[in-house]
Amino acid sequence: MTKVIVCLIQFLVLITMQIVSQITVCDEQKDKEILKVYTEKENHVEKCEAKKELKTIKKNQTIIA
């Protein structure tokens, strides 16, 4: 009877370890997706700011000329 209980406990521990491992993998994937989206947004903002700066420079050059 004790062998059965020990086997059940080992089985439950294995299942728990597997679930925790799966959760960790999912969290890492989610973190990668969040970082990718953040990087894309940051690049978009940089491009928009660069366009604004370019327009400002062109306006200043037009005023000077």
Euclidean distance between CA atoms 15 and 23, whole angstroms: 12
Euclidean distance between CA atoms 27 and 22, whole angstroms: 9
pLDDT at position 65 is: 57
pLDDT at position 16 is: 94
Euclidean distance between CA atoms 50 and 43, whole angstroms: 10
> pTM above 0.75?
no
Average pLDDT for runs of 10 along the chain of length 65: 93 94 88 90 84 81 70
Q: How many domains does the chain have?
A: 1
For residue 37, what are the domain limits?
Answer: 1-65
Euclidean distance between CA atoms 61 and 1, whole angstroms: 90
DSSP conformational letter for 37? H
- CA dihedral sign of residues 34, 36, 38, 44: negative
